[in-house]
Structure 1
Amino acid sequence: MKKLILFVLLPLLLLIGAGLGALVAGMIPGVSIPGLGGHETAPEEKKELGAPPTSQPSPVDSSVYVLPEFVVNIRTNRTYPVFMLLSLAVEMRDEGVRPTMAAQEPRIRDAMIIYLSSLTPTDLNGYEGIQRVRDNTWKILHKFVPEGDLVNVQIAKLTVK
């Protein structure tokens, strides 16, 4: 009788306990127990995805604020400097946002220069590199301009020399 408990019931109890522990911890994909764990807040944390798609149509009353061109020395291991020229067009909800953008422009430029100077030429390769710049520009803009005031951000010019 002791061998039956030792070799059959004890491992069975251990497996059931491990399964319940994995279920409660949320380690089983697609299965969740309502009210347990912090899984209700996880989708809200991933809300910030970056800039809206470039194909998104503009609202009727929107206006565009063009930031002056950025010329930034980007990071490289080469003996000669590598420069990036970037021009941005920020789409705003209406003309009432223009004074806010103008007032915050020095801070936006400073934050953008700090971000852009940390990039390398390989960070800017291809579609992913350009999209990364758009997404991070969108995040930087939201630090200085309220979220509802901005519609989109477009890269008008991006050149690496």
Structure 2
Amino acid sequence: MTVGRVRRSMVDEAEDSELDADLEEDGDESAPKKKKKLSGKVLVLFILLPILVIGGGAGGAYFAGLFDSPGPTEEEIAAAAAEKNKQVVFYDLPEMLVNLNTGTAANSFLKLGVSLELEDETAVADLELLIPRVMDNFQVYLRELRKEDLSGSAGVYRLKEELLMRINASVGPIKVNDVLFKEMLVQ
């Protein structure tokens, strides 16, 4: 054998060994890829699927109301109402007689008796000091009403809400819960 042939055969062997090494590496890489794909399937099957099933079941139970706390019983509601009613205090305002806005020469009058619902008795002393301001606010508002404004239950309800808003604005930190009509006469 000549030196050229020996070199050529050595080069061929080196190339063959490199090709074999590449094939082995490709074969080795394909095996872990299969393991990775298998481990991805295992991840989905054994980890993600149970988490989704448990999450879906918990969400369904939440929306079905299984996690809601039971509401108060009728006895508890009655006891709370009785407790609230013990604290409620009513304060009677002086009767008011005002002429209504008619826009004509004919006169129309409103006689109104009002009682105020307060949260506790401590507010009465403070409210008595502010009665002139309350009466003034009521008089100014009531004189601008027309007879048509007071017709029907909707008119009375609007009057009640307006008086409640005005009194709460005029008595400041004192909270008036409701305005109750004792007497209401439109003539």
If the length of structure 1 is used for normalisation, what is the TM-score? 0.61
Secondary structure at 1:77 match in 2:
coil
Q: Distance in 1 between matches of 2:162 and 2:150?
A: 13
Q: Which has the higher contact order (CA 8 A, sep 6+)?
A: 1
Q: Distance in 1 between matches of 2:103 and 2:145?
A: 12
Q: Distance in 1 between matches of 2:172 and 2:136?
A: 18
Q: Distance in 2 between matches of 1:148 and 1:87?
A: 21
Aligned counterpart, 1:101: 127
Aligned counterpart, 1:74: 100
Where does the alignment leave 5 or more consecutive residues of structure 1 unmatched?
1-55
Determine what percentage of the aligned residue pairs are the same residue: 25
Q: Distance in 1 between matches of 2:174 and 2:106?
A: 42
Q: Distance in 1 between matches of 2:123 and 2:144?
A: 29
Secondary structure at 2:93 match in 1:
strand
Where does the alignment leave 5 or more consecutive residues of structure 2 unmatched?
1-80
The residue type paired with residue 167 of structure 2 is L
* Contact kept? 1:90, 1:153, Cα under 8 Å: yes
Higher Rg of the two aligned structures: 2
- The reply on whether 1:119 has 2:119 as its aligned counterpart is no
The structure richer in strand per residue is 1
What do you get for the CA RMSD once the two structures are aligned?
1.9
Aligned counterpart, 2:179: 153
Deviation for aligned residue 1:150: 2.0
Aligned counterpart, 1:85: 111
Q: State the aligned residue count.
A: 106
The residue type paired with residue 105 of structure 1 is I
The residue type paired with residue 87 of structure 1 is G
Secondary structure at 2:158 match in 1:
helix
1:45-64 mapped onto 2 (5 Å cutoff): 59-64=85-90
Secondary structure at 1:68 match in 2:
coil
CA deviations 1:8-59 (Å, max 9, x no partner) are: xxxxxxxxxxxxxxxxxxxxxxxxxxxxxxxxxxxxxxxxxxxxxxxx9853
